[in-house]
């Protein structure tokens, strides 16, 4: 454990409010009567407002160590409340509303929240679906009255006005529970990830040192969690008018206007949004001249979309592609100028390069296994270029899941004071120490084929296989799934086309089989199906729900066999 025993990430906000009190901290774009307006708050105002809310929460009965669900849309209140919770030592529970009501109910059952802070719509859902009914004692409604839940935020602040302008911020041990962030559940059941202030501090350090973010910058933040790092870095967070849980529905014109109005130097966006902005910007001939850095995370970016978006940027400005997960973010990064040089490797099944490790982070590859690993040993590692399971260690890596002991045992490997985390992703390291992603461990397809004399085993990896088939000019994207066929696991590739087919699919399938036989990563794949539109996660529009697709594929293959 580090020597630093007391921590609270709000110290960065206090520093900024002291040194640059009138500098812009947050701006929120809102559409009102077909016109875009902007609400703003400087560092001094954000510091003061969060102090007022922290004090009122304490008077209302919430104390350090209590847990509070936060379901508030990105707004000035969202920033003020989140920093207030951290200042008061109250543990925010952050969830992705897009995970569905059933998963949300399970998340709240596991997290056992003491309070629910949300907009009226969230309180309506809480009451309708019984979220947190067993444990929630305090309800606070934001941007509305307390009609649907407890007391309104405005009424709370009026009832408990702070007597002095300085709130005594709670300081926690640096490894103590500071927040619970739930995974999206796009590749399994959502799990609560335990965050400490030490983790947050490590992430802030990476953003300062590896990404070179400095005070005075302005960031167009399209993801609420990342937007919180802005004020902690002395950088203004500009929040556009969009549904943060469904970035692909964003209006590009709104984002372009916000970038230009505030002369944003940084943009954080997922690959799907990068693609949408690139297409829209190129059609209108837009140049985002103030951007000096673009950060993309959440899913592997497609190389064509990076090329397209790069046309909007000044020469020499990179899109920094970050790799990580809720449990460990960021882990590695690679600039688009370097990534585009690897296109030929990716298109022939070599996986996607996600770059070198960020500061104080160790990457390792171990043999693929479903079994828990209790203790770390260097003997577990495998040689460069051999595909295995990605394991990471660093101060930004969560040490456990909340109320999920079995998941913690399955994914953590004890290694001194900091456990290593098994990412659940497969990949390899090259001779330069760069990490290459080959797909999720759960998405690999292991097939066994027997003839009269021999048994053949093949391992197919989702990213390696799919990027090969995606090179076909008719293919928009592909998805590898495994199904049971004649009591054997069989690889099937589902295809989504760019346009409606104008000729027989038999010709396309023969072409895809020819492509498959040319590459080691796809040789032996014989089954292809055309799907009208893959089931996708709503946030990233890049993570395919393969479990649903596999069920569909099995039924389609059975139909073919029964004809």
Contacts of 304 (CB under 8 A, 6+ apart): none
Phi then psi dihedrals of residue 268, to 5 deg: -110, 120
- The arithmetic mean of pLDDT across residues 27-53, rounded, is 96
Rounded mean pLDDT, 540-557: 87
Residue bearing tokens 């859902």: 125
Q: Alpha-carbon distance 227 to 236, whole Å?
A: 9
Q: How far is CA 21 from CA 16, 160, 218, 234, in A?
A: 7, 25, 16, 10
Contact call for residues 158 and 166 (beta carbons, < 8 A) = no
User: Beta strands 192-196 and 177-182: pairing type?
Assistant: antiparallel
What is the rounded average pLDDT of the residues 414-428? Answer: 96
Mean pLDDT of 175-185: 90
Judged against a pLDDT cut of 70, whether residue 290 lies above it is answered with yes
Q: Which residue has the higher pLDDT, 304 or 511?
A: 511
Task: Compute the distance between CA of residue 214 and CA of residue 227 in angstroms, rounded to an integer.
Answer: 15
Of 57-71, 161-175, 408-422, the one with minimum mean pLDDT is: 161-175
Looking at the chain, the whole-number percentage of residues with pLDDT higher than 70 is: 96
Query: Which H, E and C letters describe 172-203, residue by residue?
Result: ECCCCEEEEEECCCCCCCCCEEEEEHHHHHHH
Q: Over the chain, what is the mean pLDDT?
A: 92
- Count of alpha carbons within 13 angstroms of residue 180, beta-carbon side: 24
Q: What is the pLDDT of residue 117?
A: 97
pLDDT for position 454: 67
* Residue of higher predicted confidence among 401 and 542: 401
Domains and CATH numbers, the chain: 1-18+35-172 (3.40.50.980), 444-562 (3.30.300.30)
pLDDT at 97 over 90: no
Give the model's confidence band at 1: pLDDT under 50 very low, under 70 low, under 90 confident, else very high: very low
Q: What is the dihedral of CA 301, 335, 202, 50, to 10 degrees?
A: -70
DSSP 245-304: T-GGG--HHHHHHHHHHHT-SEEEE-HHHHHHHHHHHHHHT---TT--EEEE-SSPPPHH
**Rounded average pLDDT over 159-169:** 89
The pLDDT value given to residue 2? 44
In contact, 386 and 354? CB cutoff 8 Å: no
Calpha distance 43→23 (Å, rounded): 6
Asked if residue 229 has pLDDT above 70, the reply is yes
Q: What is the mean pLDDT of residues 49-76?
A: 96
Q: Give whole-number Cα distances, 13 to 46, 230, 265, 445, 462, in Å.
A: 8, 10, 20, 48, 42
Amino acid 560: pLDDT: 72
pLDDT in tens, 317-370: 999 999 999 999 999 999 999 999 999 999 999 999 999 999 999 999 999 999
Look at 1-10, 89-98, 213-222, 525-534 and tell me which has the smallest mean pLDDT. Answer: 1-10
Contact 422/413 with Cβ under 8 angstroms? Answer: yes
What are φ and ψ of residue 479, in 5° steps? -145, 125
Q: How far out from the chain centre does Cα 536 lie? A: 14
């Amino acid at each position: 454990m580090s020597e630093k025993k007391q921590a609270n990430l709000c110290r960065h906000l206090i520093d900024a409010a002291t040194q640059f009190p009138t500098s812009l901290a947050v701006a929120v774009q809102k559409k009102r009567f077909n016109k875009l307006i902007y609400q703003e708050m400087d560092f001094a105002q954000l510091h003061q407002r969060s102090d007022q809310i922290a004090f009122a929460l304490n008077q209302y009965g919430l104390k350090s160590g209590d847990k509070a669900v936060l379901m508030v849309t990105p707004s000035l209140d969202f920033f003020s409340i989140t920093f207030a919770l951290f200042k008061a030592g109250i543990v925010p529970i952050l969830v992705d509303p897009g995970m569905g009501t059933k998963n949300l109910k399970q998340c709240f059952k596991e997290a056992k929240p003491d309070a629910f802070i949300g907009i009226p719509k969230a309180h309506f859902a809480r009451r309708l679906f019984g979220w947190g009914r067993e444990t929630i004692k305090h309800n606070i409604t934001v941007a509305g009255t307390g009609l649907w839940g407890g007391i309104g935020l405005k009424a709370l602040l009026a009832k408990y006005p702070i007597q002095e302008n300085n709130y005594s911020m709670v300081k926690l041990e640096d490894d103590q529970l500071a927040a619970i962030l739930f995974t999206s559940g796009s590749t399994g059941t959502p799990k609560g990830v335990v965050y400490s202030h030490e983790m947050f501090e490590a992430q802030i350090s990476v953003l300062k040192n590896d990404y070179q973010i400095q005070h005075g910058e302005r960031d167009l933040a399209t993801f609420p969690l990342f937007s919180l790092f802005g004020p902690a870095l002395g950088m203004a967070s500009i929040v556009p008018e969009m549904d943060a849980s469904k970035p692909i529905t964003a209006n590009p014109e709104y984002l372009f206007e916000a970038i230009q109005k505030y002369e944003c130097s940084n943009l954080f966006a997922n690959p799907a949004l990068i693609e949408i902005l690139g297409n829209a910007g190129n059609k209108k001939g837009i140049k985002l001249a103030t951007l000096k850095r673009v950060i993309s995370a959440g899913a592997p970016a497609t190389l064509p979309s990076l090329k397209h978006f790069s046309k909007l940027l000044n020469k020499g400005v990179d899109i920094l592609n970050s790799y990580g997960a809720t449990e460990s973010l960021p882990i590695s990064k690679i600039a688009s100028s370097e990534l585009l040089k690897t296109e030929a490797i990716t298109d022939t099944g070599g996986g996607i390069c996600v770059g070198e490790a960020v500061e104080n982070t160790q990457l390792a590859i171990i043999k693929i296994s479903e079994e828990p690993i209790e203790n770390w040993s260097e003997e577990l590692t495998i040689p460069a270029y051999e595909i295995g399971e990605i394991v990471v260690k660093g101060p930004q890596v969560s040490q456990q899941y909340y109320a999920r002991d079995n998941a913690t045992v399955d994914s953590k490997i004890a290694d001194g004071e900091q456990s290593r985390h098994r990412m659940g992703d497969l990949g390899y390291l090259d001779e330069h120490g760069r990490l290459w992603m080959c797909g999720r461990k759960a998405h690999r397809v292991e097939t066994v084929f027997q003839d009269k004399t021999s048994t053949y085993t093949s391992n197919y990896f989702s990213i390696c296989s799919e990027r090969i088939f995606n090179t076909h000019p008719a293919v928009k994207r592909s998805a590898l799934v495994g199904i049971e066929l004649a009591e054997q696991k069989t690889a099937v590739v589902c295809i989504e086309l760019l346009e409606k087919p104008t000729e027989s699919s038999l010709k396309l399938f023969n072409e895809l089989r020819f492509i498959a036989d040319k590459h080691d990563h796809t040789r032996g794949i014989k089954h292809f199906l055309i799907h009208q539109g893959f089931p996708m996660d709503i946030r990233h529009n890049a993570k395919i729900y393969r479990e649903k697709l596999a069920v569909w594929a099995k039924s389609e293959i059975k139909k073919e066999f029964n004809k």
